[in-house]
Amino acid sequence: MIKEVFKPASIEEAVKLKSESIYYLSGGTQINWAPAQADRKIKGKPAIEKVILVQDLLSREIKKQGSDLFIGAGITLQELIDSSQTPGVLKKAAGYIASRNIRNMATLGGNIAANRPDSYILPCLIALKAEVIIADEGKMRVETYIREEKNNLITQIILPRVDGVCVIDVALKSSGAYPSVTTAVRVSDKDVVVAIGCVSDHVIRLKEVEPGIMDGSLRGESLALAVADRINPKSDLAGSAAYKKYISGSMIAHLVALSQKGAARL
């Protein structure tokens, strides 16, 4: 339960107020979400009781600078979907959140910072080689931010121009259920990125299989088996560990084939 709220007048003040026991709050769909608080208790983490309101401090603007797309961290997921500048694959990832009410509140920066292992958006951002600008540390890859479990204030998200076609997919029992697996793949002549959620404590990149995809030694069934061999999911209500291994391999093999067929430039 939130017991104390700080409302800074600037991003600089917000950064100064931050401590290990105080969290940033924008849309509130993660911090105020009861299951998230319950999950913290299960993992032995203290309840979130103090927050810093940053909603009015963060830009919601999308603008092109050179070949890069800069997105304000305060943009809501619905605004992201509605913008003509948002890449189609990122619109699709945000659209997997079925509730429009949530999409009208949840922010892109907040979704990254929440670092949920079942995120729909993080695999897509990793595949797109997205970066974040952090108020007190500068620029870093989204992949690095979540791997190092940062909780610094994100002010902007940068989507660089990348080669190849990014494709995503999720395994869902219903639109209201938690996903069993979330995936994103991008294959080009220059590089391969494979990202997957729901199989670890956070969304991960499967760098071990990427060279095999690049040189053609891993494809189809051999790729599916390689993916299954390199993940260690836990059984839960969304599916057994064996099911998650199987569906992860199958989905990624399928997405790689789809991406390889594409010729468009993002």
Domains of the chain with bracketed CATH:
4-159 (3.30.465.10), 165-261 (3.30.390.50)
CA contacts within 13 A on the Cβ side of 5: 11
Query: Band of the pLDDT at 31, cuts 50, 70, 90?
Result: confident
**Phi, psi at residue 24, to the nearest 5°?**
-80, 145
pLDDT in tens, 102-159: 999 999 999 999 999 999 999 999 999 999 999 988 999 999 999 999 989 999 999 9
Joined together, the tokens standing for residue 206 give 């499967």
Question: Is residue 197 within 8 Å of 112, Cβ to Cβ?
Answer: no
The 10 Å Cβ neighbour count of residue 53 is 15
Q: What is the pTM of this model?
A: 0.92
CA-to-CA dists, residue 247 to 81, 149, 214, 253, angstroms: 27, 26, 22, 10
Pairwise CA distance, residues 207 & 189, whole Å:
16
Place of tokens 């509730």: 99
Question: Is residue 171 within 8 Å of 251, Cβ to Cβ?
Answer: yes
Q: What is the mean pLDDT of the chain?
A: 91
